[in-house]
Amino acid sequence: MSQSLRRSLETGGLEVSGRKIIAGNPSDLSKAWSRYYDLLAAHFIERIGRRRFRVILEAGCGKGQLTIPLLRRLPREVKLIAIDSSIGPYAGWLKELSPKLRRAGLEKRVRSFRSDARRIRGIEAESVDIIVSNELLCDLPYDSQLEKALTEFYRILRPGGFMIHGEWSS
């Protein structure tokens, strides 16, 4: 069991925006995590508000835990670009995203590929309206890594664009 799952059980559940999600036993963890990401997607959409946008980038998409609930809440005409470096403990996660998108009928709305947030490839300057990430910045432990990622985000973000980055806190 991962440390984060163990911590979730020890503390009595997961929490989003002050709302606690309880997993009564280990078999409920998958449902609790799904609920967490569903609420997180709703929270991100609420923060985006009435902004007009066509392209959203999810940096550090992993296996789509946030991608799919986010897409379900976005207007159909919005395209999502999902990137992940898929290295270290996350190796292979991006490969899990495509089948999930197909099963959900969302594959035509997403362009997913391997790219490091510190050196984003395949996305032109000023071509993205909104950038979202969750639990990405904590994986950039050095100031120089964080600076590179933020520089890349600002490079691809259109003028007047918007960023939302979620992180766990204690």
pLDDT of res. 7: 54
- Residue 11 has a pLDDT of 54
Closest CA to 117 of 149, 164, 89: 149
Tell me how far apart the alpha carbons of residues 144 and 160 are, in angstroms, rounded to a whole number. 25
> In residues, how long is the chain?
170
Report pLDDT for 169: 65
pLDDT at 80: 97
Q: Are 26 and 100 in contact (CB under 8 A)?
A: no
C-alpha 157/C-alpha 125 separation (Å) is 7
User: What is residue 139's predicted lDDT score, i.e. its pLDDT?
Assistant: 84
The SS3 call for residue 164 is: strand
Q: What is the distance between the alpha carbons of residues 150 and 112, in angstroms, rounded to a whole number?
A: 20
Domains and CATH numbers, the chain: 1-50 (no CATH), 51-170 (3.40.50.150)
Taking 70 as the pLDDT cut, the residues of the chain under it are 1-18, 169-170
Letter for the amino acid at 130?
I
Q: For residue 46, which phi and psi values (nearest 5 degrees)? A: -60, -40
Q: What would the pLDDT profile of 140-161 be if each residue is shown by its tens digit?
A: 888 999 999 999 999 999 999 9
Full-model pTM? 0.84
Here the tokens at position 145 are 């890594």
